[in-house]
Chains A and B, each alone.
Chain A
Amino acid sequence: RKEVEQDPGPFNVPEGATVAFNCTYSNSASQSFFWYRQDCRKEPKLLMSVYSSGNEDGRFTAQLNRASQYISLLIRDSKLSDSATYLCVVDPQGGYQKVTFGTGTKLQVIP
């Protein structure tokens, strides 16, 4: 089993739709979790951290399920500008020294 697994997509959704991605991880002792966004031919950038209690930032909601070892990202009211690849990141030890990236889920928002 891969350390971090994501559905590669692509997810093609119409503007205004709600879309959700999951990411599973294998190390039950993992400390920290993040979602990064990567636009085509650009570097990844932090979208949001994922806390045990869940967190929300505008149209984006991230949740952690430790029992089932997955994190999720929900995007409401999708915009064309949300089109990107979303990378799940798991930090087993904390401190950002040896994080593991998922291969990413590609989202295409269609007009």
Chain B
Amino acid sequence: DVKVTQSSRYLVKRTGEKVFLECVQDMDHENMFWYRQDPGLGLRLIYFSYDVKMKEKGDIPEGYSVSREKKERFSLILESASTNQTSMYLCASSFPGIGATNEKLFFGSGTQLSVL
């Protein structure tokens, strides 16, 4: 079974701290994604990566950066955490291409980040 692992289930940080959220997948997927999920707003794409060292902005990249140095690992960085970044963060991965085998997103179990 495909596994997408996020480093922390719950995280509490202070305003202004630098925060790293790590995500690792074990299925050699090219695509990896970071979403945040907020009540009433659904899942919103922050960044995605379709290859090592490649990244593309999603719908809400402001205040975030990402790093993909190895294919299996995709990190989300909050340079200076703010209270409006309190949210559930979900990492996902997928094979590329329409009609690809297993055409779906595999999600990690999420990190609930609270910024105080």
Contact = CB atoms under 8 A, between A and B. Distances in A.
Contacts of A103: 40-42
Interface string B34-49: 0100001111110010
Contacts of B31: 96-97
Nearest to A93: B98
B98 A32 contact: yes
Interface residues of A, number: 22
A73 interface: no
Interface residues of B, number: 26
Nearest to A3: B59
Main SS class of interface, B: loop
B94 A43 contact: no
Contacts of A49: 103-104
Interface in A21-40: 31-32, 34, 36
Contacts of A42: 109
- Chain A binding surface, main DSSP class: loop
Interface of B: 31, 35, 40-45, 48, 50, 56, 58, 90, 94-98, 100, 103-105, 107-110
The 9 A-B pairs of least Cβ separation, nearest first, read A94-B98, A43-B107, A103-B42, A46-B104, A101-B43, A96-B94, A101-B42, A43-B109, A95-B97
28 contacts: A8-B40, A32-B98, A32-B103, A34-B104, A36-B105, A44-B43, A45-B107, A49-B104, A87-B42, A87-B43, A94-B98, A95-B100, A96-B31, A96-B94, A96-B95, A96-B103, A96-B104, A96-B105, A97-B31, A97-B96, A98-B45, A98-B58, A101-B42, A101-B44, A102-B42, A103-B40, A103-B41, A104-B42
